[in-house]
Structure 1
Amino acid sequence: MSELLERHRAVLPAWLALYYDSPLEIVSGKGRHVQDADGVSYLDFFGGILTNMLGYDIPEVREAVERRLRTGVVHTSTLYLIRSQVELAEKVARLSGIPDAKVFFTNSGTEANETALLLATHARRSDQVLALRNSYHGRSYAATAVTGSRSWKNSSLSPLNVHYLHGTDRERFPQLSDREYARFCVEDLRSCLATATATDVACLLVEPIQGVGGFTAVPDGLLREFKQVLDEYGILLISDEVQTGWGRTGETFWGIGAHGVTPDAMTFAKGLGNGLAIGGVVARGDLMDGLPANGISTFGGNPLATAAANATVDYLLDHDLQANAHRIGSRLIAGLRAAAEKLPTVGAVRGKGLMFAVDLVDPEDGQPSPALAATVLEEARKRRLLIGKGGLHGNTLRMAPPLTLTDSEAEEGLAALIDALETVDRADR
């Protein structure tokens, strides 16, 4: 592995981070488990950053991909009719709940957010965009500009005029009740529109639960209150569902469902192809059709990716994986919260469904501890459990297992994670 690591460092960017002191190479997978190049098996609680949504080697998805491969045509481009693309668009449009919805497919969440920003800024004839503090919307020029985390911003240059709002920083205002915090956020939005922006703001782009931000969530119902203010100005609401879509939060099929409001557009990607690259935007038909120039996506919505995505969505719905996420996720979160009561190095435990997080803190002063989080990541690996890391301060452990996670696997993963947390807590005292 050291030889491969040396080759990686020689030809790939220094900013392309790898997990673990001794990075691993995943070579095979089955169900919710993967195997590394040394033959070690791991229970995967991160799914390639929420992308292997059903797990690994799912027969229905594999067979759909194999059928497409046997045709000899894995690519044609959007210049030709693609049956599987049309079928997938029909499913996404129906599931979105957006009236008269139309869908455009991309290769990633970054591209999806770029497209949504293009739709909104053209429709509103404005480069002004609202976003939330601590947000992450992708790696490209405009997506980085809308990202509200310094750790992920490489440049101050921007094609957009962005203003950041409160909404996921509840812990900064302990003196406020939940209702008072929500009112504060709405007033912050009104103040921003009154003082920081010119007329005709294009949109608010928001993650209902922030992914890279550490699974910090907008309080339920707040986006409905935001929408009421936005509607007064004609400002569009775009929900970034790249990590929260497809029933992962358990309670609702889309993350924004917790707010009782329908957005003007939603972006999606990650788990839709269960590992194959696909993303997209679903929006009101008039908004989607509004662009005046020609458009194309060479690879977006290609026959291979849409074959996998159709099979993934069908499997997801046929097996009611949203309900599974809610049931098993609730147990995992409750178990972690119970364990955290005895661990001074564990701060907040939060999440919904199979999207949950644990903050690691210095037990002396309660400040974020990225070092402790990194240590727990390593300890979890020793227990054959793969988890993720992130958050504004880098001290958050992120867990997002495949939605097919079983009861026994949930117990196995919970026990391993709690043991890792307890081991690090004891060593830090």
Structure 2
Amino acid sequence: MTSTAELAQRYRAVFPSWLGPLHGENPISIDHGDGGYVWDLEGNRYLDFFGGVLTTMIGHNQPDVTAAVQAQAAKVMHSSTLYLNEEMVALAEEIAAVSGIPDARVFFTASGSEANDTALLLATSYRRSNQVLAMRNSYHGRSFTTQAITSHSSWRSSSISGLDVTFVQGGYRLRSPFRDLDDDAYTQACCGDLEQILDMTSAGGAGSGVACLIAEPIQGVGGFATPPDGFFGQMHKILEGRDILFISDEVQTGWGRTGEHFWGYQAHGVTPDMLTFAKGVGNGVGLAGVVARAEVMDTIKVTSFSTFGGNPLAAAAGRATLKHVLDHDLQGNALRMGERFRRRLDPLIADVAWIAEVRGRGLMIAIETVQDDSLHPDPAKAVAVADGCKERGLLVGKGGLYGNVVRIAPMLNVSESEIDEAVDIIAATVAAIG
């Protein structure tokens, strides 16, 4: 039988140098999973609180999803959007219905990067402009276009782009020049920054030529940076007056993960012109897409399609996942379990000098590590937390501009006992680091 060490050797020999597994020289293999747990090739069990980067959303080998995929695989696995397929059409109807966008149209893609790429194509075509606004500390994907709107130097592989991008102040409050302001004042300061940028940098004056603002309601790779409620609603008032579209990147916040809302944008009293989704919607099967109001979606006048987007197999997984989330009120569970996690963890690590902040919402929780009693990032501590948790049987992720943020994202149907197990492991890990 192949060992984890042997597999790691083969991994490094065949993949590019810039593709590296978590945990550096001691990665884990994932052989199989069940519910909230996975097992490696040696049979070691881990509680999975990262879900393949928030993608296995309702548990490994989830019976409803597994049955739907198996049934569809026995019929037909692929047809593309050029052919009619009931699973694809039905999923589009269901996503349009829960999107909150009026007169919604849906276009399926195979990944979040491609979904955001498509949203930018729509916005720039609709507004006939290549000028785009994005948020500082943002991450929107790995494709050539989405790299241009990624304000995250450790994840940005190229500055070459046909887009004219300007980055505005956003939700990463800890390192913002406005961090000492209260919620309302912070929001107004960021809105003031937005207005000044529009007045100073947009061709045609006063933002008249800007196509869109794209934003994550809670920044994912950016370390679950969370703005005050209503933040994007106030920004939207400025955008709306200048006919600038608002795109909500819901790749990580969608499907109830924040607990309080089904979509992240709903915390802000605004309805976006477009939203993008990916990751958890297929519970591990590649499925993503864009929802836009018809006027914006129909701006494309040539024939276009997606080869893999919305294929019957992915659509069947998506329908089963969405139904399970809604039927079992997993949004409500995300709220309750997120509160339980914070209620138990916060007192245990409140006095740790190298933890600057615990933040997030629902089942998006982050711990930012710094050098003692400062804001100077300490990525080594984040690595120590992630590795220490792994050694104790818990998988968490990393992120943040400086690689100094531990990202924690349990399954939406996580149980109380799993929450308690994870908190105990994190607390023991933090105590061992000292």
Q: TM-score scaled by structure 1?
A: 0.97
Q: What are the within-5 Å matches in structure 2 for residues 259-298 of structure 1?
A: 259-298=268-307
Alpha-carbon distance between aligned partners in 2 of 1:317 and 1:359, rounded to the nearest angstrom: 32
Q: CA deviation at 1:364?
A: 5.1
- 8 Å CA contact 1:340–1:347 kept in 2: the answer is no
Q: Cα deviations across residues 41-93 of structure 1 (Å, max 9, x unaligned)?
A: 0000000000000011111110101101111x100111110110111011110
Do 1:333 and 1:350's aligned partners in 2 also have CA atoms closer than 8 Å? no
2:185 aligned residue: 180
Map 1:70-109 → 2, pairs under 5 A: 70-71=74-75, 73-109=76-112
Per-residue deviation, 1:310: 0.3
**Residue 159 of structure 1 pairs with residue 162 of structure 2:** yes
- Whether 1:314 aligns to 2:317 is no
Q: Secondary structure at the match of 1:281?
A: strand
Contact (CA 8 Å) 1:167, 1:219: kept in 2 or not? no
Find the residue that maps to 1:144 and give its secondary structure. Answer: helix
Aligned residue number for residue 384 of structure 1? 393
Confirm or deny that 1:7 pairs with 2:10.
yes
Among 39, 43, 54, the alignment partner of 1:39 is: 43
Number of the residue aligned with 1:209: 218
5 Å matches for 1:19-418?
A: 19-20=22-23, 21-71=25-75, 73-171=76-174, 172=176, 173-198=178-203, 199-363=208-372, 365-418=374-427
Cα distance in 2 for partners of 1:334, 1:395 equals 23
Q: Distance in 2 between matches of 1:169 and 1:94?
A: 31
CA contact (8 A) 1:27 1:35 kept: yes
Count of aligned positions: 424
Q: CA offset at residue 365 of structure 1?
A: 3.4
Tell me which amino acid in the other structure corresponds to 1:245. Answer: G
For structure 1, the residue ranges without an aligned partner over 5 or more in a row are none
SS in 2 for 1:134: coil
Local SS of the residue matching 2:256: coil
Note if contact 1:250-1:323 (Cα within 8 Å) is conserved in structure 2.
Answer: yes
For 1:208 and 1:174, how far apart are their aligned partners in 2? Answer: 18
Alpha-carbon displacement from aligned partner over 1:262-304 (angstroms, at most 9, x marks no partner): 0000000000000000000001011111101110101110000
* One-letter code aligned to 1:181: Y
Letter in 2 for 1:49: V
Structure 2 runs not aligned, ≥5 long? none
Contact 1:130 / 1:205 at 8 angstroms: preserved in 2?
A: yes
The TM-score, its normalising length taken from structure 2, stands at 0.96
SS of the residue corresponding to residue 37 of structure 1 reads: coil
Per-residue displacement from partner, 1:313-334 (whole Å, max 9, x unpaired)? 0000000000000001011123
For the aligned residues, what is the CA RMSD? 1.0
Contact 2:365–2:408 (CA under 8 A) maintained in structure 1: yes
Q: Distance in 2 between matches of 1:140 and 1:174?
A: 32
d(CA) in 2 for partners of 1:422, 1:216: 25
Is the contact made by 2:173 and 2:225 (CA closer than 8 Å) also made in structure 1?
no
1:76 partner SS: coil
Alignment partners' CA distance in 2, 1:100 and 1:195: 34
Contact 1:45 1:399 in 2 (8 A): yes
The one-letter code matched in structure 2 to 1:195 is M
Counterparts of 2:159 and 2:361 in 1: how far apart (Å)?
Answer: 33
**Whole-angstrom CA distance in 1 between matches of 2:228 and 2:396:** 25
Structure 1 segments of 4 or more deviating over 3 A? none
**SS in structure 2 opposite 1:216?**
coil
Q: Distance in 1 between matches of 2:310 and 2:5?
A: 37
**2:80 aligned counterpart, secondary structure:** coil
**3-state SS, counterpart of residue 121 of structure 2:** helix
Whether the 8 Å contact between 2:179 and 2:186 is mirrored in structure 1 is no
